[in-house]
């Protein structure tokens, strides 16, 4: 499926500016992303009122901002008390902040910050699902490279030491009954395109999925909704443990997933394991081109293909206290969407990992 925006896109220039996570302890989170995922320290910032402090890290082309609330009523403090550490803001860069903000509100988004101009920069914030926000950002005129509110211009991040090249997509778990509404919002308010749809049935469980992307293809949201008429599964558990909709995982891209996973394991990242039977059947449905069966089996990497080519992916074991947020590593070899085999494999892999983690 490929569906263009329901109205002509007025925001073709809209791109990912940065990803912000609210964290309980900034030093701990910064060390984890730096030591395990190879995040390169770019800058630090503390608000003038002492309400929060943040660190900006570079993972490939993506700027990751980690923020700890220092006052009880700061949004970061409220977020982590309710949900623990998590993705709180997918900030979007656009030359037309005011127009984007107005369009979002007109199509049902909640206002979390009217447009503000300061030193030539403009920002505004909305909320679409759960406690996750989009901050629209226009940097000061003449700004080149990364610019983040509070930090200003950031230095370029050097080459990755782990092989991660930046964010590939964000998986969003939505409350039952809200999927169509959220898809409609991104298409009509921000001009995203729906590029894939899928219904996944795994045993007695089921969920529906739509993928929406911006024109630049650097913001990809995999939107997931549980089927409440089926048995509860991982999406239902996330919604319960997260107290509602939110970002379940962030996928990082790599150009060599076998090498990247080996480096990440050496740095202490734990991945979900895949049953051997998966690899016994793999070559019956795919003629592997980039990686051999033996190295995929040894690395526990999943493989699938679509009309454009093949993709390989693996999921980390969640270290979150609520067993919610986790990460993915994905290598695309021509594949541009999410084949049904891999979406089902994602669901089954997470089911296997979370079942093993639950007390017996």
Residue-range domains of the chain with CATH: 15-153 (3.10.180.10), 164-357 (3.10.180.10)
* Binding-site residue set for Fe cation: 169, 249, 328
Cβ contacts of residue 350 below 8 Å, gap of 6+? Answer: 234, 272, 315, 326
From residue 44, give the alpha-carbon distance in Å to each of 34, 90, 154, 235, 305. Answer: 14, 19, 10, 35, 41
* Binding-site residue set: 169, 249, 328
* CB of 256 closer than 8 Å to CB of 163: yes
Note if the pTM is more than 0.85: yes
Express each pLDDT in 106-139 by its tens digit.
999 999 999 999 999 999 999 999 999 999 999 9
The model's confidence at residue 360, banded by pLDDT at 50, 70 and 90, is: very low
* Dihedral of alpha carbons 41, 169, 79, 322, sign: negative
Express each pLDDT in 334-355 by its tens digit.
998 665 675 565 455 555 555 5
């Amino acid at each position: 499926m490929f569906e263009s925006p329901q109205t002509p896109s007025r925001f073709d220039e809209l791109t990912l500016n940065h990803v912000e996570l609210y964290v309980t302890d900034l030093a701990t989170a910064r060390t984890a992303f730096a030591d395990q995922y190879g995040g390169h320290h770019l800058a630090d910032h503390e608000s003038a009122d002492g309400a929060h402090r943040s660190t900006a890290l570079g993972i490939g082309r993506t700027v990751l901002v980690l923020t700890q609330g220092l006052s009880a009523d700061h949004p970061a403090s409220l977020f982590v008390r309710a949900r623990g550490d998590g993705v709180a803001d997918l900030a979007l860069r656009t030359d037309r902040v005011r127009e984007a903000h107005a369009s979002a509100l007109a199509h049902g988004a909640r206002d979390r910050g009217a447009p503000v101009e300061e030193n030539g920069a403009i920002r505004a914030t909305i909320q679409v699902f759960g406690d996750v926000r989009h901050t629209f950002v226009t940097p000061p005129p003449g700004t080149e490279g990364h610019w983040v509110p509070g930090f200003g211009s950031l230095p370029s991040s050097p080459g990755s030491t782990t092989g991660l090249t930046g964010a590939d997509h964000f998986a969003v778990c939505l409350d039952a009954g809200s999927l169509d509404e959220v898809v409609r919002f991104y298409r009509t308010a921000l001009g995203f395109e729906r590029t894939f749809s899928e219904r996944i049935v795994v045993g007695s469980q089921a969920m529906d999925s739509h993928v929406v992307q911006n024109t630049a293809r650097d913001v990809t949201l995999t939107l997931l909704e549980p089927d409440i008429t089926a048995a509860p599964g991982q999406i239902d558990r996330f919604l319960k443990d997260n107290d509602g909709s939110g970002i379940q995982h962030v996928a990082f891209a790599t150009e060599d997933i076998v090498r990247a996973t080996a480096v990440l394991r050496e740095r202490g990242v734990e991945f979900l394991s895949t049953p051997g039977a998966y690899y016994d059947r793999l070559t019956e449905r795919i003629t592997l081109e980039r990686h051999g069966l033996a190295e995929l089996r040894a690395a526990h990497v999943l493989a699938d293909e679509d009309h454009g080519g093949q993709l390989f992916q693996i999921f980390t074991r969640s270290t979150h206290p609520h067993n919610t947020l986790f990460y993915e590593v994905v290598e695309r070899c021509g594949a541009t969407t999410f084949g049904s085999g891999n979406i089902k494999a994602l669901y089954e892999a997470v089911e296997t990992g979370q079942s093993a983690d639950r007390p017996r």
